[in-house]
Amino acid sequence: MATVHLRIGDLVWGKLGRYPPWPGKIVSPPKDLKKPRGKKCFFVKFFGTEDHAWIKVEQLKPYHPHKEEMIKINKGKRFQQAVDAVEEYLKKAKGKDQVRIFTNLKSPFSLQPASSMEPITKRLKIIEEDTGSTSIQAADSTAINGSITPTDKSMLTITVIFAIFICFPNRIGFLGLGLMGSGVVSNLLKMGHVVTVWNRTAEKCDLFIQEGARLGRTPAEVVSMCDITFSCVSDPKAARDLVLGPSGVLQGIRPGKCYVEMSTVDPETTIELAQVITSRGGRFLEAPVSGSQQLSNDGMLVIVAAGDRSVYEDCSSCFQAMGKTSFFIGEAGNAARMMLILNMVQGSFMATIAEGLTLAQATGQSQQTFLDILCQGQMASTFVDQKCQNILQGNFKPDYYLKHIQKDLRLAISMGDSVNHPTPMAAAANEVYKRAKALDQSDNDMSAVYRAYIH
C-alpha cells in the first residue's frame, strides 16, 4: 500500500468505524485536545456536519483522486449535501482566503450531539479572528476551521441562506410526546431539524421548547406550519381523533403537505386516514416503529413504512435521526399489518419468558440460573437479558407500556380473524396480559405480565 502524504489543510475522505467514508478537511486540533497515543492520525473536521475526530492515517484518502469512487458507493442525501459543501468550498477558495461552510446536520457517525439546540439564526455568528478576517460557523462548534474573506452584507446574507437551506430543507412537525415520541423529537432536534411540537398534555412540550423546538397550539396549526408532520399516539381512536377531531390535522392539511402516521394501529385505521389526507391533496405515509423507549432515545428504532414512496424518500434524514434502519413495503396498510405481527410475536414471547421464570420458581429452581442458561443459548438477546433482569429486580418502569402490547395483541388477533387465520398463541398471551391489566399493571412495562403468574 502506497504511503499517503497528508498535511493540515488537505481535503480527504475519512472513515470512522463501520460508517462509509465522509468528506472532510485536516485541521489543527484544539489546544486542549491531545493526540491519541501510539497512533499515526490526523484531526479531521467533516463537511456537512459539526463532527470532528482523530482518524488513523490508513483510514484517510485524498479527496480528488477518490471522489468518483466514493460517490458511487454512497448515494445518501446527507452525503450528497456534504459533497456539495466541499464543491462550494473549492469554488470559493482563492489563495489563502478560503470560505468554509459547514452545516449543523449530524453525520451518521456523529461522536456527540450538537451542544446548542437554538434556531440556526441564533447559532450562526460572525467570529473575528486574530488575523482580522471573518468566518461563519456554528457557535457550538468545537474547532475553527478556516476563514471567510471580509465581504459586504449581501454576500453574507447569501452565505447564511445557503447554510440554512442545507441544514433545514423541511420544516418538521411532531404530534404526541409519549415514551416513543419524546425520544424521536429529541433526536430530530439533535440532528439540527426545526421541529414544531404539540401534545394533548401541553406540559410535556416544555422540555422540548427549552431545547429549541417550537410550540404548536393545535394539530391543525402544526400541519399548516410544517412540510412534514409526524404523529405517534397510543391507539386507533387517538390516531383518528388527532386527524378528524376539532382543530385536527385534516383542518390544517393543504396540497403537498406530508402526514406520517407512526402510531401502531390496525390497517383499517391507516387506510382510512390515508384516504382522508389524500382527499385534501395531502401526501400520506405510515411509518410505525419497532423498539422501546430506550431505543427511541438512542435513535435505534426500526421503521416500517408504506404508502407514498416520495414521502418516504423526503423523510430520509428524519428516519436516519430516529432509527438504525427503515423498510418500505408498499401500499398503505402494509406497515400496520407488519408491525402488528412483529408486536404479536414480541408480546407472546414476553409472556412465555415470564411463564418460564415463574415455573422455575414454583419448582424450586433458581430464576437467576435459568436466566444465565437462557442467555448462553440460542435464545440469547439483549431483550431477554434486560427484561429478565428487570423482573428479578422488581423494576417495571415502562419502556413499552403493558397496555399497549395488549392492544397490539388484540389488534393482531382481530387481523387474523379477518383472514380466517388462527392465532392461538397470541390469544393465550392476550389473556395473560388482560389479567395483568386487571392487576393494575397497565402503565408498567410489558414485562409486568410476570405479575399475572404470581397473583
Distance of CA 127 to the CA centre of its chain: 32
- Residue 198 has φ and ψ, to the nearest 5°, of -145, 145
Q: C-alpha cell of 304?
A: 416500517
Q: What is the pLDDT along the chain (455 residues), one digit of tens a residue?
A: 455 678 888 899 988 765 678 899 998 887 767 677 666 888 888 888 767 788 888 888 899 888 888 887 776 777 888 888 888 888 877 544 443 334 444 444 433 343 333 333 333 332 223 333 333 233 233 333 333 333 454 444 444 444 444 444 579 999 999 999 999 999 999 988 999 999 999 999 999 999 999 999 999 999 999 999 999 999 999 999 999 999 999 999 999 999 999 999 999 999 999 999 999 999 999 999 999 999 999 999 999 999 999 999 999 999 999 999 999 999 999 999 999 999 999 999 999 999 999 999 999 999 999 999 999 999 999 999 999 999 999 999 999 999 999 999 999 999 999 999 999 999 999 999 999 999 999 999 999 999 999 98
Q: Which of 242, 259, 237 is nearest to 200 (CA)?
A: 242
Vertex 119: Cα angle to 118 and 121 (nearest 5): 120
CA-CA distance, 306 to 255, in Å (whole number)?
Answer: 20
CA-CA distance, 446 to 451, in Å (whole number)?
Answer: 10
Q: C-alpha cell of 391?
A: 423482573
Report yes or no: 54 and 35 within 8 Å, Cβ to Cβ: yes
